[in-house]
Amino acid sequence: MAAPRSFALWGYCDRGWSRLMPGCRLPGFRSCWPGCPLGARLLSQEKRATETHFGFETVSEEEKGGKVYQVFESVAKKYDVMNDMMSLGIHRIWKDLLLWKMRPFPGTQLLDVAGGTGLAWVLGDAEELPFDEDKFDVYTIAFGIRNVTHIDRALQEAHRVLKPGGRFLCLEFSQVNNPLVSRLYDLYSFQVIPVLGEVIAGDWKSYQYLVESIRQFPPQEEFKEMIEDAGFQKVTYESLTSGIVAIHSGFKL
């Protein structure tokens, strides 16, 4: 789930959901283009540094969190029904596989970001978690990290709050690796899913954003490298259902 400003909800030691929003960063510069005023150069760099994507639309970082929040506010009441309809129930198998990989045991300190239900809830920012470092045994996030504005910052925070030996697990839509399945998947995604969203949830635009945001997310190998750049080791991934989704795993060692 996503929300405006820098707020997020988590459930830890059980399941939770997050509200995510970007921070800001100051752009740097090296030199001015020949014949270009320094002020124009800075403004140009600042514009690029604060733009991001919302599906296929280019928006400012300040806008994105609010837009994603509106999407999930709109679809919340029909969220589970739509997940079953869109995936024919297969999303439940994907989530079961994530839990099987995690193999939690009594006493496991689990932080679940962007879940859906939970017992212990915390409001905060996925890019600046309100927890001490070396606190959790497992960090999980399912179908949520692609909504974060700065994925690299969220990954760094996941690494920070995990204990040495702790594990990062992410279930997310990914890149289909079969050309025929890819064409059929694109047809289904862009022609069927928004229609289902309109019929079942009364919301075409939110589900149009869903399919667009999936195409903007990095493919398996690229996301693996991002996880490694955040400090995780022994990073692996498993593609499921021809790569429609993938489970990425990494350890803080």
Q: Quote the tokens at residue 130.
A: 């309100």
Q: Is 117 annotated as a binding residue?
A: yes
Q: Is 126 annotated as a binding residue?
A: yes
Q: Is 40 annotated as a binding residue?
A: no
Quick one: angle between helices 193-201 and 204-216, nearest 10? 150
Report strand pairing: 245-251 vs 162-173: antiparallel
Q: Quote the tokens at residue 16.
A: 């939770």
Distance CA 60, CA 245 (A): 28
Q: Quote the tokens at residue 75.
A: 């679809």
* Dihedral sign for Cα atoms in the order 64, 70, 76, 78: negative
E strands present in 70-161: 110-113, 121-123, 136-142
Annotated binding site: 117, 125-126
Annotated binding site for S-adenosyl-L-methionine: 117, 125-126
